[in-house]
Structure 1
Amino acid sequence: MNKTGFEAFFKEKYSQAYFLALRILHDDEASKDVVADAFELVWRRTQQEKIENISSYLMMSVRNVCLDYIRKQNVRSHYVQASVQATEQLVHNPDQWDVREERIQAIMGSLDELTPRTRQILKLCYVERKKYREVAVELQISESAVKKHIMQALSYMRQKFRTRKFY
């Protein structure tokens, strides 16, 4: 499908896709984002191959992107809830501050044991919250190399802390 044809398809199907997303998510802004992502997926797919029923494919994509969005929100909600619970425990049990500080010191010490490149990649991904792709571009390495460094570092940390009792 060419660009002009896709623009016409976009104008014709946007509201239908938006209302499907809104019905699933009950959130105006999230629905707009989801529909934009779905149209992007459809555009990319049409550049790779011919889709028989593009309208059905769009609606299926909207539904799938909505489900992915809900899953991500559930994960975020879980981490927020865990963080709130941990904070409440610290507030109600000041002795936990010492344990927490000990954990932080142990983690920081183990970071020094990593290679400089791996430590740099961990910092960029976890402290500066950069995506693997951004780190790869910045360091002029492949995205798979970034993943490899992260996996090695996390494996090392798990192995190191498996024997320590922090809980």
Structure 2
Amino acid sequence: MDVLAITTGQDLIHIIEKGRPAVFTRFYTSYFQKLLLASDKYVKDVYVAEEVVQDVFLKIWEQPNRILAVRSIKSYLYKAVINASINYLNRQRNIGQHHLKLIAELSDDCVNDLEEENEIILLLHREIERLPVQCRKIFKLSRFEHLKYKEIAAELGISEKTVENHIGHALKTLRNRFMNDKQLHKKGKSFLFNSYLF
């Protein structure tokens, strides 16, 4: 069964009741990375985010009736993951009650925007992995670990000019790939350039 056809709570309940764990696992896998990114925005810990997402799916598997009336399983999953993430923060840091209102105010449009943004981030990371080894390593140290050129040069035993050249090559390559990608609309390109490819 095509997991894209699973759009409502009843669709997913049907899979569970039919005892088709392989299909459920494929459905889980299709959403896992995007939901992980959604949770990580709140908890700021990828391991905690993994547990949050896994727990949401485990509860669905063990208590499928809770999604019986769900008309959009995508919206439900995002709201459930974000709600669980906020609950985690409440337990850890006792944040204010106004944060709890976020989940109630999360519209379907917000969910779609969030999923779209996460898809773009995942696409960017896949493109980064396609860069040459040394270039990729230097780019990650710069953009993800926030090291200065001088620090990268010292760590890798190369010149700052070499670091600068690799960063320039990475940015040019990534920009060219995304500018020529017909699947990315203007909003997606704007997000990428403002967030990563500066």
Q: TM-score range by the shorter chain?
A: 0.3 to 0.5
Structure having the higher helix fraction is 1
Q: Find the structure with the greater CA-based Rg.
A: 1
* Structure having greater relative contact order (Cα 8 Å, sep ≥ 6): 2
